[in-house]
Amino acid sequence: MSDRSSKGRIILFICAIVFFDAVGFGLLMPIMPDLLKDVANLDLSDGATIAGLLLTTFAVMQFVFAPILGGLSDRFGRRPILLIALLGFAIDSFIMAWAPTLTWLFIARVISGIFGATYATCYASLVDISEPDERAKLFGFAGAALGLGFIFGPALGGLLGEYWVRLPFIVSGGMILLVFLWGFFFFPETLETRNRRPFSMARANPLGSLISIGRFPSVLIILAALFFIQLGNHSYSSIWSFYVAAVAGWTPFLIGLSISVYGFGVAGVQGGLTGPVIAKFGEVKAVYFALAVGMVSFIILGFAQTGLQIYVAIAIGAFAGFLSPALQALMTARTPADSQGELQGAITSLYSLASIISPATMAIIFTAYTDENGIYLPGAPFFLATGLTVLAMLIFAIGARRLNDQPLPTDQASEAVTETFD
């Protein structure tokens, strides 16, 4: 089999993992109220509280384990970590399918958070097999798989949940086991022996990973920008169902449909446009554009009063899909081959830290501005998201200017394409 064929097979497998991780998250959205009612007979009010705690549990575990799995992948290779993670995904799905109590739902979220931290290893695998100038395109493919997962997940959850609220998890678990078998027999190791390094707990704790990445100052600054971006972006996952119900009176089916439409838009942008756009304009300009359209989308959502206005915001916001692949490409180009797992672990940890902090904050603001005794402004969290995005843009501007001052790692310097960041 040719190297090109083997490379394509690896990319497809990595995209499958990212896809099913997104599916597992997305299928919960439309059926969570019915699931909590089935497990513990909770009404919508109490169920929302428990749902928030489940999300926090997931985020905490992902925050803790992302750098650990990234460091383990730098030591033992990507293949064993990814295969173990797939088994963890399957176990999580089957626990959710037959959980008799809330305790078992929390156990499932713990497992999901641990093995959902494998984004680090997935992106590190793509770095292993790619040249610096094609990484943005490959990250775009992974982002497209993520978007497709968010299309398929809510649709699967809503459709199968109509028959039995546990059925989506059984189907999801079965599909994940098939992907595991695919990887077990056909997925090769991507990390060369010469690029492996000993595992270190100092680097494998969430803060240690970030401290270690601090030896690359421009990368650390961009990570800071990424953190504030994620704080703002969590306004979607935190309050979306409540927001659209308050503004447009949407039912669960329409809520799931809107999530799928957004996922479709992001997938189209990342899979079809990321490579050509970044190749023509460069990563830095792509980041600025994505941040700008993201702010426009947030502002529209802040003032929206109809379903049509919400969909206009969704359409505009989909073009922010350039953001993640471009940022990934910028940071990986300034990180040595033996530290790629560590970098991706730090990125995933920041995502998780944002998902710990932001949901509660956004929910509090939403509650405060939908109280009948105060100012009624359900879009208030999106104004906060706008401010966070402005802050992220200012921080990124500092990091982008410093990229030229940081030399490329010796293992990449001869291959990288020079870009003017000013």
- CATH number of the domain that residue 23 is part of: 1.20.1250.20
Residue 173 vs residues 61, 81, 128, 168, 262: alpha-carbon distances, Å: 20, 18, 29, 9, 25
Instruction: Kindly state the tokens that stand for 126.
Output: 């793509």
Checking if the pLDDT of 228 tops 80, the result is yes
pLDDT of residue 46: 60
Give the pLDDT score at 4.
62
Of the candidates 21, 34, 280, 305, the one whose C-alpha atom is nearest the C-alpha of residue 176 is 21
370 lies in some domain? yes
316/264 Cα distance (integer angstroms): 13
Judge residue 75's burial from the number of C-beta atoms within 10 Å of its C-beta, 0-12 exposed, 13-18 middle, 19 or more buried: middle
CA-CA distance, 82 to 69, in Å (whole number)?
Answer: 9
146-167 tens-digit pLDDT? 878 878 888 788 778 878 889 9
Question: How far apart are alpha carbons 282 and 170 in whole angstroms?
Answer: 43
Give the separation between CA 113 and CA 58, rounded to whole angstroms.
4
d(C-alpha 90, C-alpha 323), whole Å: 30
- 296 vs 233, which has greater pLDDT? 296
Total number of domains in the chain = 1
Look at residue 316 in the predicted model and tell me its pLDDT: 93
Q: Looking at residues 9-24, what average pLDDT do you find?
A: 87
- The mean per-residue pLDDT over the stretch 236-257 comes to 77
Which has the higher per-residue pLDDT, 116 or 407? 116
Q: Give the orientation angle of helix 119-128 with respect to helix 323-333, to 10 degrees.
A: 60
**Looking up tokens 């909770």, which residue turns up?**
42
> Within a domain: residue 420?
no
pLDDT at position 180, please? 92
Residue 411 covered by a domain = no
What mean pLDDT value characterizes the chain? 81
The answer to whether position 412 is within a domain reads: no
Q: Which of 308, 258, 231 is CA-nearest to residue 30?
A: 258
pLDDT at residue 404, rounded to an integer:
62
- The verdict on residue 416 lying in a domain is no
Q: How far apart are CA 116 and CA 25, in angstroms?
A: 10
Inform me whether the pLDDT recorded for 188 exceeds 60.
Answer: yes
Q: Can you give the pLDDT at residue 247? A: 85
Look at residue 229 in the predicted model and tell me its pLDDT.
92
Range of the domain at 103: 3-188+205-403
The angle at the Cα of 317, spanning 312 to 319, to the nearest 5 degrees, equals 115
- Give me the mean pLDDT over the 125-154 stretch: 82
Does a structural domain hold residue 299?
yes
Which pLDDT does position 203 carry in this prediction? 65
Q: Is residue 422 part of a domain?
A: no
Q: What is the pLDDT of residue 187?
A: 86
Tokens of 120: 């680090």
Q: With a cut of 90, say whether residue 302 has pLDDT above it.
A: yes
Residue 287 clears pLDDT 80, i.e. is over it: yes
Q: Which residue has the higher pLDDT, 2 or 47?
A: 47
Among 69-73, 94-98, 178-182, 347-351, which is the least confidently predicted range?
Answer: 347-351
**Tokens (6 digits) for 244:** 């659209």
The more confident residue out of 303 and 186 is 303
Q: Per the domain annotation, does 194 fall within a domain?
A: no
Lowest mean pLDDT among 43-52, 252-261, 372-381, 408-417: 408-417
Most confident of 22-36, 247-261, 374-388: 374-388
Distance, first Cα to last Cα, the chain = 43
Whole-number pLDDT of residue 150: 78
pLDDT number for residue 396: 92
Backbone angles phi, psi at 410, to 5 degrees: -60, -25
Query: How is residue 387 written in tokens?
Result: 């401010």
- pLDDT category at 208 given cuts 50, 70, 90 is low
Average pLDDT on 255-269 reads: 80
pLDDT at 422: 35
- Residue 322 CA to residue 143 CA, distance in Å, equals 9
- pLDDT of 248: 86
